[in-house]
């Protein structure tokens, strides 16, 4: 299997199917964040998860700002138009699936937004510190490459854009529809970012994923964070070794 196929499969497994799909569970044993199937054991659960242990470019990472190299990175151009979105609970997180037509451009690279989903606390650390939550916006290019944009959340005012999601967080197998939802409204105004190569943060941990972590957090209320934590108390993989990877910071 070539890398592209692995990436595409990885994206499907990590993001789209989830525990609601019974056949998938039989083929790929259950994984979790705590207990015997926690992140330290993911590679042992299934041969398909070997990258979780063997890959040298795993996500998430701790970003030390003073070690990030300032670089003239391409501006992130979010051409999101929105539409009718579907909110699902896949047994690992709550995920918002978007219709096609929401593109991210960065220089010559174009990728289509598939979905975004949440982790608590934020998987990525900045200068050793987590945020209460993060959203990962997962994009795929025409040649199958994955590009993830992370939007960090700090506690503050109610997030009105995400209120329809957090007011009715779905149970497994009971998706909600959101009409006229534009994911662009979730993004911070300031698009400065950190960039590095990494992986999916869930099994099978496939690498070759381009990561862009937006520096500027957006707000969620205490109540919104609590609503998510009622479903998922903790769904964050610990930070992984950098192994000499370059982290760049937009100027
Ligand atoms: Zn994620």
Q: What is the CATH number of the domain that holds 174?
A: 3.10.200.10
Contact 72, 107 (CB under 8 A): no
In a domain, 245, yes or no: no
119 CA distance to ligand 1 middle (Å): 6
What pTM value is reported for the model?
0.89
For residue 18, the model assigns a pLDDT of: 40
Decide if 28 is catalytic. no
In a domain, 180, yes or no: yes
pLDDT along the chain (251 residues), means of 10: 46 42 54 96 96 98 98 98 97 97 96 98 98 98 97 98 97 96 98 98 98 98 98 98 98 89
Residue appearing with tokens 């499907």: 12
In a domain, 37, yes or no: yes
In a domain, 246, yes or no: no
In a domain, 31, yes or no: yes
- b/e burial code for range 62-89 (CB count within 10 A of at least 16 → b): bbeeeebeeeebeebebebebbebbbbb
CB within 8 A of 196, min separation 6: which ones? 61, 63, 211, 245, 246, 247, 248
Domain span at residue 9 reads: 3-240
In a domain, 250, yes or no: no
In a domain, 248, yes or no: no
Quote the tokens at residue 202.
């869930």
Q: How many domains does the chain have?
A: 1
In a domain, 56, yes or no: yes
Which is catalytic among the residues 28, 30, 92, 119? 92
Quote the tokens at residue 37.
């199937």
């Amino acid at each position: 299997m070539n890398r592209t196929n692995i990436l595409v499969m990885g994206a499907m497994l990590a993001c789209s199917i989830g525990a609601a799909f019974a056949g998938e569970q039989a083929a790929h044993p259950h994984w979790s964040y705590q207990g015997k199937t926690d992140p330290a054991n993911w590679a042992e659960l299934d041969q398909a998860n070997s990258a979780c242990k063997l890959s040298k470019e795993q996500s998430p990472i701790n970003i030390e700002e003073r070690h990030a190299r300032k670089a003239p990175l391409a501006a992130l151009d979010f051409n999101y138009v929105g539409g009718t979105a579907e909110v699902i609970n896949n047994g690992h997180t709550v995920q918002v699936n978007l219709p096609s037509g929401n593109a991210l451009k960065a220089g010559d690279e174009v990728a289509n937004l598939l979905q975004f989903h949440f982790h608590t606390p934020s998987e990525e650390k900045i200068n050793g510190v987590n945020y209460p939550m993060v959203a990962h916006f997962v994009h795929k290019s025409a040649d199958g490459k994955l590009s993830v944009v992370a939007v960090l959340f700090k506690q503050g005012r109610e997030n009105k854009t995400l209120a329809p999601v957090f007011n009715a967080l779905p149970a497994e197998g009971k998706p909600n529809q959101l009409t006229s939802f534009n994911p662009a409204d979730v993004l911070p105004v300031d698009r400065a970012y950190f960039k590095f190569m990494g992986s999916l943060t869930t099994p099978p941990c496939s690498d070759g994923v381009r990561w862009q972590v937006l520096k500027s957090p957006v707000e969620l209320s205490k109540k919104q964070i609590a609503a998510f934590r009622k479903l998922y108390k903790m769904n964050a993989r610990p930070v992984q070794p950098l192994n000499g990877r370059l982290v760049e910071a937009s100027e």
